[in-house]
Amino acid sequence: MDKLLYLMRHGETLFNAQHKIQGWCDSPLTKKGQQQAKKAGQYFKEHHIVFDHAYSSTSERCSDTLELVVDMSYVRLKGLKENFYGELEGESERLNQHLTPKDCETFYLQYGGESSNTTRDRMMKTLTDIMEKDDHHCVLAVSHSGACYNFLRAIQDPGDELKKGFGNCCIFVYCYSNHQFVLKEVIRQKD
């Protein structure tokens, strides 16, 4: 039987609304972000999706999102954190709006940040370790847009999905079988 991973982006934060670069720095969920998380929780209830385990990035925006989505114990993991943007943390998104996904592989290194390849590899290791556990059949993991993008990039060409956007609380559904992830669908909220 295939295992299922529901990899979800956190709800809208203050820095998202203010268009600030947010990696390892954190900001609280907005009212809209809280509503997005509750809406995702409602989706899971309506579709009778029951998780046997849940995980969150150590960032408060992710744990707060998870707590609004499901009422269950969970584990916070540094491996699910967003890309680190170094000196650009908390700065305006205008500073990186011109970047292509390929540029991001090395751009942040000059500011003391990390390569998107590092984030990709960290996410792949963390999520593989989670899904390899015998009692993990239907798992929720709450992470970040860049981290989710880089994980998808490790599995397939992310271009088509990126064009559709990775909005707050979008959910990537992956089948996990024979040590491989396959994207099944992406569930995006309608505003």
Instruction: Please give the span between the terminal C-alpha atoms of the chain, in angstroms, as a whole number.
Output: 35
In 36-187 the beta strands, taken as DSSP E runs, fall at 53-57, 75-77, 138-143, 171-177, 180-187
Q: Are the beta carbons of 79 and 119 closer than 8 angstroms? A: no
**Residue 144 appears among annotated catalytic residues:** no
Contacts of 105 by beta carbon, 8 Å cutoff, 6+ apart? 115, 116, 117
Catalytic annotation, pick one of 10, 53, 136, 144 = 10
Please state whether beta strands 3-9 and 171-177 pair in parallel, antiparallel, or not at all (unpaired).
antiparallel
CB 62 within 8 A of CB 142: yes
Note if 82 is an active site residue: yes
SS3 percent helix, strand, coil of the chain, rounded to 5, is 40, 20, 35
Considering the candidates 12, 53, 82, 89, report the single residue annotated as catalytic: 82
Enzyme catalytic residues? 10, 82
